[in-house]
Amino acid sequence: MSDQHSFALHARLKADTFEVIHLPLCRVLLMNDCSFPWLVLVPERMGVTEIHELNGIDRSALIEEISRASEAVKKVYSPDKINIGMLGNIVSQLHIHVIGRYRNDRAWPGPVWGTGPAQPYLAEEAASACERLGRTLALTA
C-alpha cells in the first residue's frame, strides 16, 4: 500500500478545516476561521513531523505546492503579505499554514496563531471560498 493510501488526516486538522483540493503531494484545506484567508497544506505521508524527514522529491513538490497556495491566496484575496508557517507544536502531523495578511487585520504585524477565537464561516461562504481557491489552485500548475 502506498503512503497515500494509508494516509489519515489528524483529527484536529479534520475538525478545524474544509477540504479544498488534492494536489500531487498535499491535501489542501481551508481553516474554518474567516478572520484570515488561511490555507493548510498536509503532505499525504504518514509519520512525518519535520521537513527534513521528507525525501528530496517530496520536498521539491512541497515547495512548489506552497508557492501555488501562496499565489492562489494572493490572487483571490489580494492580501498585503503572505505568512507561511510550519509549527506542529500542538498537532505534530506535518502541515503548512499559508495565510493572507492585511495591515489592518487583528494580529498585524504579529503572527496569527493564538490571537483570538476562530470566527467560523457560514456554510455557503465556506463552500464559495473553497470553490474559488480550488479553481485558482487548479490553474496554477
Residues found near its own copies in the complex (CB under 8 A): 49-52, 54, 56, 59-60, 62-64, 66-68, 70-71, 74, 81-90, 92, 101, 108-111, 113-114
Region at 88 (left for phi over 0; alpha for psi -120 to 50; beta for the rest): left
> Shortest approach of its own copies to residue 17 CB, angstroms?
19
Provide, rounded to whole angstroms, the least separation between the CB of residue 83 and its own copies.
Answer: 5
Task: Give 54 or 126: the residue with its C-beta nearer to its own copies.
Answer: 54
* In the complex, minimum distance from the CB of residue 90 to its own copies, in angstroms, rounded to a whole number: 5
User: In whole angstroms, how close is the CB of 124 to its own copies at the nearest point?
Assistant: 29
Nearest in space to 96 (alpha carbons), one of 119, 125, 65: 65
Task: Between 20 and 96, name the residue whose CB sits nearer to its own copies.
Answer: 96
The DSSP-derived string for 30-68 is EES-TTS-EEEEEES-TT--SGGGS-HHHHHHHHHHHHH
Q: How many CA atoms lie within 13 A of 44 on its CB side?
A: 16
The tally of CA atoms less than 13 A away on the side-chain side of residue 10 is 20
Task: For its own copies, give the closer residue by CB, 121 or 133.
Answer: 133
Q: Which is nearer to its own copies, 25 or 30 (CB)?
A: 25
